[in-house]
Every structure is written in structure tokens, then in C-alpha cells.
Amino acid sequence: MSDGTEEQVWRALGQVVVPGVMRSLVQMNLVRSIEVEDSRAKIALASTAIPAEHHGWLQGKVISAAREVPGVTDAIVAFAETKPKELNQIQQIVAVMSGKGGVGKSLVAGLLASSFAREGKDVGILDADITGPSIPKMFGLNVRPSGSETGILPISSKSGIEVMSMNLLLPSEDEAVIWRGPLMSKAITQFWEDVLWGKLDYLVIDLPPGTADAPLTVMQTVPLSGVIAVFTPQDLTEMIVKKAVKMARKMDVRVLGVIENMSYLLLPGTGEKLEVFGSSKGEEMAKASEAPLLGRLPIDPQLARLCDEGNIEKYRSDALSEIVENVVVALKGKE
Ligand SMILES: Nc1ncnc2c1ncn2[C@@H]1O[C@H](COP(=O)(O)OP(=O)(O)O)[C@@H](O)[C@H]1O
Ligand SMILES: [Mg+2]
């Protein structure tokens, strides 16, 4: 049998959606091998994170998809257990950090992911802010993730971004997580090792603020492509951002650059920039952190509203586009 047939079966399985996520078996990297012999397709699937009650259903879907391929009359499916970590293939992993909370770190993480997704990329968000998870709210998500003994499936956002957050796992959205460092580190490690992310172009990690155990765990556990530090003009000292950046350097993680959030207020109608918190500290901060200024985001009431409504994915602006471009350039650049 020609390789062409096998390739067509691969393509057919690219149309079979994994229950619980909006992405296909191929995108989730669950198809391990396909062999076609005497018009019979032998398909090996990883059953990772797929609840047992879905196996039969999935098997049926796969068999009928394979049979649609010319030259294939029959198909058999074998499931194998594989660890999520072995199936995850992620091109770029970007972590967003800040010296303190409330500067718009989650917002920047959410906007970056949304922008990448809009460009047609496969994107995930790992909300590592275990005690203050805010990503699901910005994306309007409150579905409980499914999974099996072998792994957890992320939740798909409206535009198909894979999201994993402690918030999705808590009994109630308002539940506070009061955990000590080691437990928090364990949760983050699990989000990395036990979640089936599949094949992604970008994974954006929303780090907890500051330089405590949790961001350290991420830097030690996850092979980051780089970090971005967010600050606001209210950050009176450069120290707080510098400390975060220094920590990344110490951990041998590339610093892609800094972003000034709430940099100015765009006056409605006129387009005039009002620097509410005083003049921009962008260049100063960039210099102090020895990293490029990736851009400045304005205080935008429309953005605040979209976040409250769970519609962050709808937000676009020139300032955001410029930041995303600069992030992509920084990721390409050599250290
Ligand atoms: N540029 C902005 N324009 C309007 N609202 C913003 C902006 N940046 C942040 N906010 C709002 O401020 C709050 C805090 O932002 P968030 O990203 O959750 O901070 P952090 O993750 O750093 O703690 C959010 O409710 C968000 O909607
Ligand atoms: Mg946050």
C-alpha cells in the first residue's frame, strides 16, 4: 500500500475532535502510528487524558473516518497509555511575570494568547497563578476539565485556546486557595506534566506575582523560551521589576522584554494620550532591566469591560499589535 493512503488517514484523523476539547486527535498528538496493509488501517492511539467512557465512541469515530479514505475498507484501533509529557510538543513557551500583583500581568498573558490565536496559531494558557487565578474569568470559562488516570484535558476558549487554571478545578469560582509553597509548586508541576497540551505553537504562562517559590518552580520545571515583565507607571521604584528580571537571569531564562501597562489614557474621540500616572517609565525600566521595551498598553475602559464580560479575545488595538510583533521578534532573536 502506498504511503499516500497512510497520509490520507492521518488527514482524516485530523478531522476527529477529541471529546472535551475543540481540537483534533492529531492536534492533541494522540495519533501514534498508522499503518495500512491490504486495505486495512492499523491505528495506534494514545488514550492519554481520555475518560474511559469515551474510548468506544472515539474508536467508532476513528474507524469511520479511516473508512472514508479510498483504499481503506477496514480499520482497527489500539489504545496505548502514554504520559502527557511525552505527547506535548510546544514550540514557544512564554511566561509573563511582574514584581507585584494588580499590574495587568494576567491581562497581558490573555491578550498575547488571544493575538497569537487570531493569527491562526495553536495556543495554550497555563495559569500558574494558583492562589489568584484570573484567566478563566477573562475568557468567560467555567467548565470543569475532564481527564483520566493518565492526564487532564485543558478547556477550550471561544477562539480555541487551551486553558488550564486552578480556578477551573475548584468547587466554586470564588473559592480561595490557601496553600503553602510546596503544594503550590506541586500544582504547577502537574499543570505542566499531567495536562495534555498536544501540539502548540505557543504556550503562555501567567506566573504568580513576585519572586517567590511559585515563579521559581516554573522556571525550574518548564523549558521557557523567555519571560516578559509587566509593570505600570505607578511602580515607583525600578527595584521591583529589576528583581523579577534578575531572578529570570539567575535561572538562565531569557528576558524577552518589558511591557508598561496602564501607561496612558486614550482620550475618547480625540485620540490624545493622557499620562494619568505621570510620564512613561518605559525606557527607564527597559534600561534598568537591560531588556527591550516591548510596548505600552493604555488604560482602556473597553478592555476592562471585555475582561469583565469574559470576552478578552475580542480586544484588538494598534498598541497590542505592536507588542505582539515585538514579542515575536524577541523570540526569534538570539540571546
Ligand atoms: N490596560 C488596562 N486597561 C483597563 N483595565 C485594565 C488594564 N490593565 C489591567 N486592567 C484591569 O485591572 C485588573 C487587574 O489586572 P490583572 O491582569 O488581573 O492583574 P495581575 O494579573 O497583574 O494581578 C483587571 O480587572 C483588569 O481588567
Ligand atoms: Mg493575575
pLDDT of res. 20: 81
Model-level pTM? 0.94
Ligand 2 centroid from CA 29, angstroms: 30
134: closest CA among 160, 166, 103?
Answer: 166
**Chain segment 265-294, per-residue pLDDT in tens:** 988 788 788 998 888 888 989 998 899 999
Q: At residue 1, does pLDDT exceed 90?
A: no
User: Please, what is the average pLDDT of the chain?
Assistant: 92
Number of the ligand closest to the Cα of 97 = 1
How, if at all, do strands 226-231 and 273-274 pair?
Answer: unpaired
Q: Which helix (H) or strand (E) holds 33?
A: strand 31-37
CA-101 nearest atom, ligand 1:
23
Cell output for 13? 484523523
- Cα gap 193→95, rounded to integer Å: 16
pLDDT of res. 176: 67
Rounded percentage of the chain residues whose pLDDT exceeds 70? 96
pLDDT of res. 334: 54
Q: What mean pLDDT is predicted for residues 143-155?
A: 93
Whose C-alpha lies nearest to ligand 1, atom 11? 304
Q: What mean pLDDT is predicted for residues 59-83?
A: 96
Q: Is the CB of 104 under 6 A from ligand 1?
A: yes
Q: At residue 100, does pLDDT exceed 50?
A: yes
Q: What mean pLDDT is predicted for residues 120-148?
A: 94
Q: What mean pLDDT is predicted for residues 74-86?
A: 95
Domain 86-332, CATH = 3.40.50.300
Domain 3-82 grouped into CATH 3.30.300.130: yes
6: closest CA among 31, 33, 35?
Answer: 35
Domain residues of the chain, as ranges? 3-82, 86-332
Q: Could you tell me where the beta strands, DSSP code E, fall in 167-326?
A: 199-206, 226-231, 255-260, 265-266, 273-274, 293-296
Number of the ligand closest to the Cα of 130 = 2
Lowest-confidence segment of 120-124, 137-141, 157-161, 265-269 by average pLDDT: 265-269
Q: Is the CB of 5 under 6 A from ligand 1?
A: no
Number of the ligand closest to the Cα of 105 = 1
Q: Is the CB of 107 under 6 A from ligand 1?
A: yes
Q: Is the CB of 134 under 6 A from ligand 1?
A: yes
